Chain A
């Protein structure tokens, strides 16, 4: 294509010399090809004349003849473009230039620019934070964002919590693909390698409708680094070493770009940690072995492009040995005891109980830009998620067989069209079709916790954005249809106990002695919508207001869970009667950003009808003793919260950051607090930065987490061991805690174009003993103690 154009340039370059009636004008705008941002100061050259665009990217050229011209459009940081236009036919023309600036070197300031929605609360973390957490998990890195916390199982299984909500209420978009990796379980962390992302944006709420209508909690959008369309070869390697866990990680990425738009990208990560340590003891069997690799290639042309992406992720995670308990008496013993019942010597070996998860993700994407209309994108993606959970079982042979063996296969087709030819109005509309199949292998010798099922999803959305000077209005609607078609065995006694015999007898398709085989098939129609505004005033103030309605269909766990979850020593019971939950969320944010100081205050109110929650309700007796029963149920709930931030750049070299977030979750009826609501937390950071000293950056951070004083009541259980009812303090939160962390980074040049960044971090400097309410292992052990980390980042 390029050669063709060049020939034309040459050809028309001669013809335009013969001027005749030269009264034509050409006008339009020059914009960034990717996001449509107007480019100021772009040059438009024809013959020997050069024009510049104004602040809104506009240009007007008059005195042109009714013939063809070759225009060269260029802008700092962009590849020049040569376009021939026949002025006899065309009088307006918008040019899109593609940024080839080195995005890899660009540092995105967190919260600098909203790019997923205009009106809802969102925040982005960039390269620096992601590199800092290279050896950790996505959930750890996201905690840097105010209002984002995590629900942990130990220190390695980290599930992001956005403004109090987690699991199926939080969507994770990995490279444009909605992750389908069994996010329903509390102890299932996202199966993503943080190192595949160039930046991660968290949208706090359901306003980003294009990703899904059911994001009652929010959306986490992981995006890769953009590949510049020029001849280039860029590489990056990050090495991390940690004293606690005596391990580290290495991740490497190499990107090859070509002028003609072709690119190739390869990336790989390896992480290995042994047992981590609390201040007073080793947390036995908490090792981690993680592998990840991804490959992408394709063409990114001016008007069209396609790419293929594949990623592989595998991890083996040890689950704290002491957290495997037999029955409620063991749990009581653990809660009363100050240290875990099993403490062994440090080892890298990972024994049962453990999880082994692999995730394959493949994607094909195509886009085409239609002049003066917009951009069409079509995508097919495939995901295969395999999850094994190994337990402590009675015989050595059985211990080699997983207790949970699930295989989740997902195919999705998505397509959207973005109408962005108007400067003040954009419209995005699209569809999603998805098929998913879950297979639970019966060879485990343990009854299936999640049944075999087929699931069909279809969705359609329209979102629009309207710009009026400093005001942006956005709105959208979405409809989703879900059907789940499961085949599940129920113990006859359970079927009756749940009362299904009266309501669901038509679901039974087989009689297997002590069990029924059933075929539950449910349809859900979900509607979601959003409306909001973004208003910029007095130069440095931004006000955002947003209302989002979202509906989420229940996940398989909420519907079908049934039985003893061995690793948690609890019986989890879903309910076939569970229906969609509906959220109405109002969120506001007012922020001021100036050079010397800035702040943001962001309150929100989330009213969730038929909120689905899982909480301990009673115990069931068996020969093995008593087990706490955790039941799913629905109740109207409201969440009221506030995220606040303040920074001061009180001196050229000194900066302070202060973040506070709080959320109160209650059932509307009876004011009972919701389970697993994050406790209020308050972070303060002092940073010293001096560019002249090898880019030195040093900081100390104080993290104060209050005690969660609002929690649902504990339950009374019968203890076979003592022969009486005892209070099981299963909901009582641990005390408040205060941690100190420190960090330092310098940047050294290596040769002409290469750099190495050296970073050191100390977490939990005072080696404090503490427990975290949002850690499922808080009954058994303290959190991780002091940790020294060293990081080397090579850019070449």
Chain B
């Protein structure tokens, strides 16, 4: 090996990187997946419609806390039909997240819980078989019934779990999985 040749090659290799470094291209913004900014729960009993809405403008990444809006009080001793709607409003037009849940109904489940002395019980009105591919017997929770009894005030918590154990006993502890949504609403029954 001729060292006289080798040395310049080495220096050349060294200087090469200095000359190929300019790169003024700006990065492109990430098209964020899996963002849920808005959950709207619509409770309907005849003409009585109560909505529970939560909006988080910057998702789980951002510092802004979610804003909760409750349209009114629930009536005592009434059965409401409930639906859940999930949106990503960071996109324009807003992305319908329900479609994703429906497509993978067997991997998702909503859990409803009343706390702090709130007198209501919920029951699922859908199963995996309601969504394509129309198989499965476990509940999903995109629709549900909510039955109020005596007047009271407390928290109504909605949790969406991804990949829970299915079937489960209806408690979060038994279901496990990852939390996609966990939101409490302070609700009054009168």
Question: Do A and B interact?
Answer: yes
For B10-53 the 0/1 string (1 means CB < 8 A from A) is: 11011111100101001111111110110100000000000000
| Bound Cα distance from A512 to B104, whole angstroms | 32
Contact B31 A622 (CB under 8 A): no
| Bound Cα distance from A625 to B157, whole angstroms | 11
Quick one: which of A489-510 are within 8 Å of B by CB?
489, 491, 493-494, 497, 509-510
Most buried by B among A411, A451, A624: A624
| Bound Cα distance from A720 to B176, whole angstroms | 17
Quick one: which of B67-122 are within 8 Å of A by CB?
90, 100, 103-104, 115-116
Contact A446 B14 (CB under 8 A): no
Chain B residues with Cβ under 8 A from A255's Cβ?
Answer: none
Contact A435 B18 (CB under 8 A): yes
Quick one: which of A146-183 are within 8 Å of B by CB?
none
Interface stretch, picked from A48-56, A104-112, A322-330, A593-601, is A322-330
Chain A residues with Cβ under 8 A from B64's Cβ?
Answer: 493, 497
| Bound Cα distance from A440 to B29, whole angstroms | 11
- The yes or no answer to A454 lying at the interface (CB within 8 A) is yes
- The yes or no answer to A448 lying at the interface (CB within 8 A) is yes
Contact B28 A623 (CB under 8 A): no
Contact B27 A442 (CB under 8 A): yes
Interface stretch, picked from A66-74, A392-400, A532-540, is A392-400
Contact A447 B179 (CB under 8 A): no
- The yes or no answer to B178 lying at the interface (CB within 8 A) is yes
Chain A residues with Cβ under 8 A from B16's Cβ?
Answer: 411
- The yes or no answer to B184 lying at the interface (CB within 8 A) is yes
| Bound Cα distance from A327 to B184, whole angstroms | 14
Chain B residues with Cβ under 8 A from A306's Cβ?
Answer: 1, 3, 6
- The yes or no answer to B155 lying at the interface (CB within 8 A) is yes
Contact A378 B10 (CB under 8 A): yes
Which of B26, B63, B155, B176 sits near A497, CB closer than 8 Å?
A: B63
Contact A624 B181 (CB under 8 A): yes
Q: A306-B6, A378-B7, A437-B23 are in contact. Are A446 and B181 (CB under 8 A)?
A: no
Chain B residues with Cβ under 8 A from A655's Cβ?
Answer: none
| Bound Cα distance from A437 to B18, whole angstroms | 12
Contact A445 B31 (CB under 8 A): yes
| Bound Cα distance from A442 to B32, whole angstroms | 9
Contact B39 A623 (CB under 8 A): yes
Chain B residues with Cβ under 8 A from A489's Cβ?
Answer: 27, 29-30
Chain B residues with Cβ under 8 A from A447's Cβ?
Answer: 30, 32, 61
Chain B residues with Cβ under 8 A from A451's Cβ?
Answer: 27
Quick one: which of A104-132 are within 8 Å of B by CB?
none
- The yes or no answer to B183 lying at the interface (CB within 8 A) is yes
Q: How many residues of A contact B (CB 8 A)?
A: 66
Chain A residues with Cβ under 8 A from B115's Cβ?
Answer: 722-723
| CB-nearest residue of chain A to B182 | A625
Q: A445-B34, A451-B27 are in contact. Are A326 and B180 (CB under 8 A)?
A: yes
Contact B182 A442 (CB under 8 A): no
Contact A720 B157 (CB under 8 A): yes
| CB-nearest residue of chain B to A723 | B155
Contact B182 A329 (CB under 8 A): yes
| Bound Cα distance from A721 to B29, whole angstroms | 34
Which of A326, A366, A437, A509 sits near B3, CB closer than 8 Å?
A: A366
Chain B residues with Cβ under 8 A from A433's Cβ?
Answer: 14, 18
- The yes or no answer to B57 lying at the interface (CB within 8 A) is yes
Chain A residues with Cβ under 8 A from B37's Cβ?
Answer: 623
Chain A residues with Cβ under 8 A from B54's Cβ?
Answer: 623
Contact A394 B180 (CB under 8 A): yes
A676 CB to closest chain B CB (Å) equals 25
- The yes or no answer to A349 lying at the interface (CB within 8 A) is no
B131 CB to closest chain A CB (Å) equals 14
Which of A454, A514, A622 sits near B90, CB closer than 8 Å?
A: A514
Chain B residues with Cβ under 8 A from A448's Cβ?
Answer: 27, 30
Contact B34 A442 (CB under 8 A): no
Contact B60 A622 (CB under 8 A): yes
A487 CB to closest chain B CB (Å) equals 5
Chain B residues with Cβ under 8 A from A364's Cβ?
Answer: 10, 13
Quick one: which of B135-190 are within 8 Å of A by CB?
155, 157, 159, 161-163, 172-173, 176-184
| CB-nearest residue of chain A to B60 | A622
Quick one: which of A550-591 are within 8 Å of B by CB?
562-564, 571
| CB-nearest residue of chain A to B101 | A394
| CB-nearest residue of chain B to A722 | B115
Most buried by B among A368, A398, A413: A413
Chain A residues with Cβ under 8 A from B180's Cβ?
Answer: 326, 394, 624
Which of A366, A487, A510 sits near B7, CB closer than 8 Å?
A: A366
| Bound Cα distance from A378 to B184, whole angstroms | 64
Which of A329, A380, A446, A487 sits near B10, CB closer than 8 Å?
A: A380
- The yes or no answer to A782 lying at the interface (CB within 8 A) is no
| CB-nearest residue of chain A to B172 | A721
Contact A395 B104 (CB under 8 A): yes
Contact A446 B23 (CB under 8 A): no
Contact B104 A721 (CB under 8 A): no
| CB-nearest residue of chain B to A625 | B182
Q: A392-B162, A442-B31 are in contact. Are A325 and B178 (CB under 8 A)?
A: yes
Chain B residues with Cβ under 8 A from A497's Cβ?
Answer: 63-64
Chain B residues with Cβ under 8 A from A514's Cβ?
Answer: 57-58, 90
Q: A366-B10, A445-B30, A512-B29 are in contact. Are A454 and B21 (CB under 8 A)?
A: yes
| Bound Cα distance from A721 to B159, whole angstroms | 9
- The yes or no answer to A25 lying at the interface (CB within 8 A) is no
Contact A411 B60 (CB under 8 A): no
Q: A299-B1, A720-B184 are in contact. Are A392 and B163 (CB under 8 A)?
A: yes
Q: A366-B7, A723-B115 are in contact. Are A413 and B30 (CB under 8 A)?
A: no
| CB-nearest residue of chain A to B104 | A395
Chain B residues with Cβ under 8 A from A621's Cβ?
Answer: 65-66
| Bound Cα distance from A393 to B15, whole angstroms | 44
Chain B residues with Cβ under 8 A from A330's Cβ?
Answer: 178-179
- The yes or no answer to A523 lying at the interface (CB within 8 A) is no
Chain A residues with Cβ under 8 A from B13's Cβ?
Answer: 364, 380, 413
Chain B residues with Cβ under 8 A from A304's Cβ?
Answer: 3
Chain B residues with Cβ under 8 A from A37's Cβ?
Answer: none
Contact B104 A624 (CB under 8 A): no
Chain B residues with Cβ under 8 A from A517's Cβ?
Answer: 26-27, 29
- The yes or no answer to B128 lying at the interface (CB within 8 A) is no
| Bound Cα distance from A192 to B37, whole angstroms | 42
| Bound Cα distance from A394 to B33, whole angstroms | 9
| CB-nearest residue of chain A to B97 | A394
Which of A341, A392, A624, A721 sits near B60, CB closer than 8 Å?
A: A624
| Bound Cα distance from A324 to B177, whole angstroms | 9
Chain A residues with Cβ under 8 A from B182's Cβ?
Answer: 326-327, 329, 623-625, 720-721
Contact A394 B104 (CB under 8 A): yes
For A597-625 the 0/1 string (1 means CB < 8 A from B) is: 00000000000000000000000111111
A-B contact pairs, 23 of them (CB 8 A): A324-B178, A326-B162, A326-B177, A326-B178, A330-B178, A368-B3, A378-B10, A380-B10, A413-B13, A437-B23, A445-B31, A446-B32, A447-B30, A491-B61, A491-B62, A491-B63, A493-B58, A497-B64, A514-B57, A622-B56, A623-B56, A723-B155, A723-B157
Q: Which residues of A contact B (CB under 8 A)?
A: 299, 304, 306, 324-327, 329-330, 333, 341-342, 364, 366, 368, 378, 380, 392-396, 398, 411, 413, 433, 435, 437, 440, 442, 444-448, 451-452, 454, 456, 487, 489, 491, 493-494, 497, 509-510, 512, 514-515, 517, 562-564, 571, 620-625, 627, 720-723
Q: Which residues of B contact A (CB under 8 A)?
A: 1, 3, 6-7, 10-11, 13-18, 21, 23, 26-34, 36-37, 39, 54, 56-66, 90, 100, 103-104, 115-116, 155, 157, 159, 161-163, 172-173, 176-184
**Extra contacts besides A413-B17, A517-B29, A622-B65 (5): CB < 8 Å:** A325-B178, A442-B28, A491-B58, A497-B64, A624-B60
